[in-house]
Amino acid sequence: MAKRCIALYSGGLDSILAIRMMQEQSFEVIPLYFCTPFFGYDVLVNTKAHKEFHERAYGIRMHPVDFTDDIIDVVRDPRHGFGKHLNPCIDCKIRMLRKAGSMMEQLDASFVVTGEVLGQRPMSQRRDAMNLIERESGLKDMLLRPLCARHLPPTYPERTGLVDRERLGDMAGRGRKAQMELAAKYGITPETMPTPAGGCLLADEQISRKVGLTFERFRPGVPSRADILLDILGRKFMLDENTVLIVSRNEEENRMLSSMVFQGNTFLKIADVPGPMCVMRGDASEKNLRTAAAVCLRYSKGRGMEGRVAVYGPDPSALTGTVEASAVSEEYCRRFQIDLNK
C-alpha cells in the first residue's frame, strides 16, 4: 500500500490536525476541499487566493472539488433525513466520502482520512452514525479518523502496520482541550489558528427556508446551481411565480452577487446613486424590470427620489439597458418579499 492518503479538508482546526498527524507518519496527504453554495463558496469564487492562503498559513496544498450538483441531489431526497433545518449531514458526508473513495485509484491513495471526533456533533458524529457513514460510503475498513481512532476498531491500514495506531488520537466529546494541546505541538498558535467556520448554510433557519421554497417551486424537477445560489444571500422577492429578485444588503454581498453570471440572470442597479446590486432571474419582462427597479431604488441611497433610472444587463460589466425606477413605499416592496416566518 502506498504511503499516500486522501483527506477531507474543511480548513478547520480538526481537519488540519488530522492531516498533520498523517504527515507526521510520513504520509503524503491529498486534501480535498469540497465546495458548494452552502459551504466553501468563497473558494469557488476565488480559488487561487484561497489555495495560496492555506498553503502559506498551514502548509496544506488543498484541492478544491465543486460539490454543488451533488449537494443539490442530496437535498432533493436525503435517505437519512435532515437535521434541525435543511441540513442532510449524514447523506452529505456519505456522498463526499464516496467521491473521495472514487478518486483513490486515480490518486494512488491507500485510504481516506477525516478530522471527525467521536461525539463532537450530535447528528453525524455519534458512534452509530459514524459506523453507518463508513459502511454506506463504501469505505469500510479504509476510513481512518486519526483524532479519535483509538476509540474505534482498528482499520485495515492500522492492522497491517501501514499506520501506527499508537500514534493516533483518543479524542471524544465536545471539549476542545486536546485539540488545543495538539495544535500547540504542531506550532499552530492562537494567532495562526483558523477561526471557526460559519458552518453549513443549510443549518441556518432563514436560508434553509429559502432553499426549501426553491426546491418546492421546481418539483418534480430540481433547481439549478444558478437558482440555488440566489438563496444564500440578500433579500429575496418573487416578482411572479417564476421570477426571483435578489437585493444585496452590503458591499460584500454586492461582490458575491456580481460573481453570479449565469444564463437567465439579469443584473440591475440604480444609476449614479450608491446602492445594492440586484439580480433578477426568470421573466425579464418590462413589467418585472420596472418592479425590480422600484425595489432596488427603495434600498438605495436614492430612496424616495423621483426621476431615477436603473441600468441592467446580463453581466455587471455590461449594464446597457435602462428602465425607470419609481419611488415606492416599504409596504409596496413587502408585497413581493418572501415571508420566511410561515
What whole-number distance in Å separates Cα of residue 239 and Cα of residue 298?
15
Do 168 and 27 lie in a common domain?
A: yes
Check which CATH number belongs to the domain holding 71 and give it: 3.40.50.620
In-domain check, residue 218: no
Q: Among 119, 151, 185, which residue terminates a domain?
A: 185
Q: Judge if the upstream peptide bond of residue 220 is cis by omega within 30 degrees of 0.
A: yes
Element (H, E) at 135: helix 127-136
In-domain check, residue 202: no
Question: pLDDT truncated to tens, each residue of the chain (342 aa)?
Answer: 789 999 999 999 999 999 999 999 999 999 999 999 999 998 988 999 999 999 998 999 999 999 999 999 999 999 999 989 999 999 999 999 999 999 999 999 999 999 999 988 777 888 999 999 999 999 999 999 999 999 999 999 999 999 999 999 999 988 889 999 999 999 998 888 887 656 899 999 999 999 999 999 999 999 999 999 999 999 999 999 999 999 999 999 999 999 999 999 999 999 989 999 999 999 999 999 999 999 999 999 999 999 999 999 999 999 999 999 999 999 999 999 987 765
Do 38 and 165 lie in a common domain?
A: yes
Do 257 and 327 lie in a common domain?
A: yes
Place of cell 419582462: 285
In-domain check, residue 177: yes
This prediction has a pTM of: 0.90
Q: Look at the chain and report how many structural domains it folds into.
A: 2
What whole-number distance in Å separates Cα of residue 24 and Cα of residue 186?
10
Do 179 and 40 lie in a common domain?
A: yes
Q: Which three cell numbers stand for residue 72?
A: 443539490
Element (H, E) at 313: strand 308-313
pLDDT of residue 190: 84
In-domain check, residue 280: yes
Q: Are strands 143-144 and 235-240 parallel, antiparallel or unpaired?
A: unpaired
Do 241 and 122 lie in a common domain?
A: no
Q: Among 146, 168, 185, which residue terminates a domain?
A: 185
Domain of 90, in residue numbers = 4-185
What whole-number distance in Å separates Cα of residue 57 and Cα of residue 50?
10
**Starting at the edge strand that comes first in sequence, how are the strands of the sheet with 143-144 ordered?**
63-66, 28-35, 4-8, 111-113, 143-144
| β-strand partners of 278 | 247, 268
Do 265 and 128 lie in a common domain?
A: no
In-domain check, residue 193: no
pLDDT of residue 197: 58
Is-contact 33 9, C-beta < 8 A?
A: yes
In this structure, what are the phi and psi dihedrals at residue 65, rounded to the nearest 5 degrees?
Answer: -125, 120
Terminal C-alpha separation, the chain: 55
pLDDT of residue 137: 97
In-domain check, residue 21: yes
